[in-house]
């Protein structure tokens, strides 16, 4: 009897079949996953058209907000610029006001000065030392002085004479008093000051204080010349308290 034997091809001899099955299974899995995802969104009320519309509205709102932000930035820049100008104007006004106040004070002092000449008190009639000031210059140990002499209005001859200026003080580290004559400290060197006026006169100059000398006071002596009252007039002024 004849026997027919059917021999099956081993599995490893058909690799394409296995790859096809795996690929098909993967495609089916992806389709099922996507279907489940879409189904889930559908069940959750997801609407693609509505979402696109919401996205468009949000983009429009964002554009509007960006435009508003730009406008606010420009407005803020303008306000900062205006505030800076106002601050500068305020500083300038304060400076001008201070200058005007100083000018008014100076004018008041000048007015009082001229009044003292036109209508002086009885005890202040005649030649007198109206004012003496000392101001430190930018040069070390150099001081500027200003002496104002006045005389009440009268019909007499002009006042003439000389002024002796002496600085009193001490050498640094010494308790012994010392006097410096004008001829030793004036710049340029002069022996004494002279005056010749009818109503008033300003005498100005510079004093150079020697190193190591501590000034304490200034002694002024008026020596009237000519005819009439020749009484010497002396006045002492303390040295300013800001050092040499």
Residue 85 domain flag: no
In a domain, 105, yes or no: no
Look at residue 193 in the predicted model and tell me its pLDDT. 95
**Is residue 95 a part of any domain in this protein?**
no
pLDDT at 202: 93
Residue 137 lies in a domain: yes
In a domain, residue 234? The reply is yes
CATH of the domain at 218: 2.60.40.3880
Cα dist from 201 to 90, 150, 213, whole Å: 40, 7, 30
Print the domain residue range for 202: 125-238
Is residue 218 in a domain?
Answer: yes
Task: Kindly report the pTM of this predicted structure.
Answer: 0.55
Q: Is 92 contained in some domain?
A: no
Number of domains in the chain: 1
Q: Residue 221 contacts by C-beta under 8 Å, 6 or more apart in sequence?
A: 163, 164, 166, 232, 233, 234
pLDDT 10s digits, 166-187: 999 998 878 788 999 999 999 9
Q: Is 199 inside any structural domain?
A: yes
Q: Which of the given ranges, 32-46, 65-79, 217-231, has the highest pLDDT on average?
A: 65-79
pLDDT at 30 exceeding the cut of 80: no
Res. 2 pLDDT band, cuts 50 70 90: low
Task: Give whichever of 40-54, 90-104, 202-216, 227-241 has the largest mean pLDDT.
Answer: 202-216
123 conformational bin, left if phi > 0, alpha if psi -120 to 50, beta if neither: alpha
């Amino acid at each position: 009897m004849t026997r027919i034997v059917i021999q099956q091809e081993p599995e490893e001899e058909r690799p394409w079949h296995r790859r096809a099955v795996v690929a098909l299974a993967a495609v089916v899995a992806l389709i099922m996953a996507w279907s489940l995802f879409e189904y889930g969104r559908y069940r959750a009320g997801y609407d693609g058209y509505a979402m696109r519309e919401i996205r468009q509205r949000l983009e429009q709102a964002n554009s509007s907000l960006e435009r508003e932000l730009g406008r606010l930035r420009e407005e803020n820049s303008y306000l900062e610029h205006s505030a800076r100008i106002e601050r500068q104007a305020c500083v300038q006004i304060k400076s001008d006001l201070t200058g005007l106040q100083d000018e008014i004070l100076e004018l008041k002092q000048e007015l009082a000065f001229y009044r003292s000449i036109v209508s002086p008190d009885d005890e202040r009639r005649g030649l007198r030392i109206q004012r003496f000031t000392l101001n430190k210059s930018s040069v070390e140990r150099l001081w500027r002085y200003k002496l104002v002499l006045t005389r009440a209005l009268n019909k007499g001859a002009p006042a003439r004479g000389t002024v002796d200026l002496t600085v009193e003080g001490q050498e640094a580290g010494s308790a012994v008093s010392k006097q410096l004559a004008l001829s030793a400290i004036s710049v340029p060197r002069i022996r004494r000051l002279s005056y010749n006026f009818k109503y008033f006169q300003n005498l100005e100059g510079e004093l150079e204080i020697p190193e190591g000398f501590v000034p304490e006071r200034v002694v002024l002596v008026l020596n009237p010349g000519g005819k009439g009252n020749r009484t010497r007039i002396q006045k002492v002024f303390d040295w300013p308290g800001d050092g040499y």
